[in-house]
Amino acid sequence: MATGTLVDVVMPQMGVSVSEGTITRWAKAVGETIEADETIVEISTDKVDTEVPSPASGVVRELYAGEGDTVPVNTRIAVIETGGEGGGGEAPAEAPPAAPEAAAPAPAEPAAEAAPETQPAPAAPAEGNGNGHNGDGRTFVSPVVARMVAEHGLDVSAIPGTGRGGRVTKKDVQQFIDAGGTAAPAQAPEVHDVPHFAPPPEAPAPAPPAAPAAPAVEVAALGQAGPGEELYRFNTIRKVIARHMRHSLETAAQVTTVIEVDMTGVVNLRKKWKPEYQSRYGVNLTYVPFVARATIDAIGRWPWVNAEVHGESALIKKYVNLGMAVAVDDAKGLMVPVIQHAEEKNLVGLSRSVIELADKARTKTLSPDEMSGGTFTITNPGVFGALIGTPIIPEGQVAILDVEAIVKRPVVVTDAHGNDAIAIRHMMFLCLSYDHRLVDGAYAAQFMAQVKQNLESWDENAFGL
């Protein structure tokens, strides 16, 4: 029987800082036909939820991960056979760890850890019993589920499973925890690398002698809240933010420079242009596009703030892919969609891009291209009334501009004849965090002075509408 060509489906890279994705739903099962560009799987990351199209037309031959599994990017998750005459195609010689439905019972000794590309696909197990139980009483779980069960000391057999064949998924465990699920009376399941099984619960050990009540802070450290406290468990996006922020601080030599800008002219222009923007272009004109356009123009004169450090070299970008930090999930999370080639956009284009990307970020519908390639980032805590901040530089960049609140203040102004007077002006602080490995203080100050000049000298013909 003729054999077709085998085409791999891999976990896509959904943004430069995204290292893994979670499979939420397989749209096709093994043996089903699929057309090129037809959805084969839905995945979720800390950045975006999306559908992955099939790279070819053919028949689905293998699925190497189950729903609820978290898989590193560029890892094979499925194989499609193209051409040929039916089911005679052979599985690829090398495959990543199989999905829960296609894993064999664990050997007596856990296999040595190996890269996904070099691990052979185990044979399929015997038909499972509800909750993913094998005939030998062991419970099959994915790696992420095994870790969650171990971390929280849970009995996996007590968790209702909604996955295929009753298997317990990551979502099931999280819902069990959120509902106040209690820890297992026995030792937490041991986590193996290949294959991934949680041993059945053992008989409870004899109760130890009663100990004095622990302080609330110690109770919280064990995963429980004390009186008058609420325990917040990090969701995926918060874990990723924490990891990347910590790594950025450990890598870059971060310094912050602050400059004050008189925004009175911009305030007046916005007031004048806002109705026309709404009627002619259908967009709400905010202050962000003004700051963005002024910043992009300044980057053209001071390009080292738009660079990337590689060891003892720096890659200077001649284009500006502008990251715009957006608070999501009631300000408990942060996404940074990217306006590609922002230097080509005027105020109208920047306004549309800012609104569109912010909406997509909050609904988690951003595409991979809209999440990757940023060269310089603007964050805007001023919308919440903040006055001064020291933002952390995104990984892979050397600077981030913090836009603070515009407030009315009495300031000294000098007229054309050199006379000083007190006037009420709309003032704003801009804060630039930069990587001192590449950008020096004088260079950063001159860049900020250019941004200030661009904003304070803006007129109706500046940069065009």
Residues that are catalytic:
436, 440
Q: What angle do CA 277, 279, 360 make, to 5 degrees?
A: 65
Phi, psi of 111 (to 5 degrees): -65, 150
User: d(Cα 389, Cα 379) in Å, to the nearest integer?
Assistant: 10
Taking CA atoms, 19 is separated from 12, 15, 65, 142, in Å, by 9, 8, 16, 18
Phi, psi of 309 (to 5 degrees): -90, 130
| Beta bridge partners of residue 49, listed in sequence order | 44
Q: What angle do CA 116, 122, 128 make, to 5 degrees?
A: 120
User: d(Cα 445, Cα 91) in Å, to the nearest integer?
Assistant: 60
The number of residues making up the chain comes to: 465
Read off the amino acid at residue 427.
M
Strand order in the sheet with 33-34: 5-10, 76-82, 58-63, 33-34
Neighbouring residues of 434: CB distance < 8 A, sequence distance ≥ 6: 254, 255, 256, 257, 305, 393, 398, 399, 444
First CA to last CA distance, the chain? 65
Rg (C-alpha) for the chain, rounded Å, is 28
- The 3-state secondary structure of 23-53 reads EEEECCCCCCEECCCCEEEEEECCCCEEEEE
Phi, psi of 29 (to 5 degrees): -110, 165
User: d(Cα 192, Cα 334) in Å, to the nearest integer?
Assistant: 33
What element of type H or E holds 20? strand 20-26
The CB density around residue 72, as the number of other CB atoms within 10 Å, is 13
CA atoms within 13 A on the CB side of 57: 3
Q: Which two tokens stand for residue 379?
A: 């964050």
